[in-house]
Amino acid sequence: MEIRDAVEADADEIASIADAPTDVMRNLVHDRTVRVAEPDGTATDPNADTDRSDGELLGFVSFDARRQTVHVTQLDGTAEACQKLLGEPIRFAKREGMDVELLAPDSEPAVATAAEELGFVTAGRGPTFNGTGTIRYRLEA
């Protein structure tokens, strides 16, 4: 599995993974740090004339940083992709001496599993989005 920066052309596949509108995911790519996971051997050659490969995405993570905390705003995909993608905001936070927080939807156990396997601790219940509860996880610097 390879991790790379998301580009606007990924919006359709990200939207499919997140079950969200494409224009919302396109805005996400522009407004936040977004990384995507692809199967091995599908990453675009940096010298190629295309923006991305035609490989199917395995997942994505988006995050931003505010007040000494990196906030994972979305994480979705296969269980393996979620775990590998969650390493991206963790690495950024470690370099900057920041904590990491994420909300794991009750409907997405792969997100909670990835968080727990990477050392996050439960920090209580999070807000409810569209009727789905969340669990707040935190990883301190």
Of 36-45, 62-71, 127-136, the least confident = 36-45
The predicted-structure confidence for 77-87, as pLDDT tens digits, reads as follows 999 999 999 99
List pLDDT tens digits, range 108-119. 999 999 999 999
Residue 90 pLDDT exceeds 50: yes
Distance CA 138, CA 136 (A): 7
* 18-57 burial code (b ≥16 CB/10 A, e <16): beeeeeebbebbeebbbbbbbeeebbbeeeeeeebbebeb
Domain extents in the chain: 2-139
Which pLDDT band, with edges at 50, 70 and 90, does 106 fall under? very high
Token representation of residue 49: 């004339």
Strand, coil or helix: 138: strand
> pLDDT band at 49, cuts 50/70/90?
very low
What's residue 99's pLDDT?
Answer: 98
- What are the Cα distances from residue 64, in Å, to 27, 88, 99, 107? 14, 11, 12, 23
Secondary structure letter of residue 24 according to DSSP:
H
Cβ partners under 8 Å of residue 66, min gap 6: none
Least confident of 1-10, 34-43, 52-61, 100-109: 52-61
Q: Give me the chain's average pLDDT, please.
A: 92
Fold of 2-139: Aminopeptidase (3.40.630)
The predicted model scores a pTM of 0.87
Residue 46 above 60 pLDDT? no
Strand (E) or helix (H) holding 109 = helix 109-117
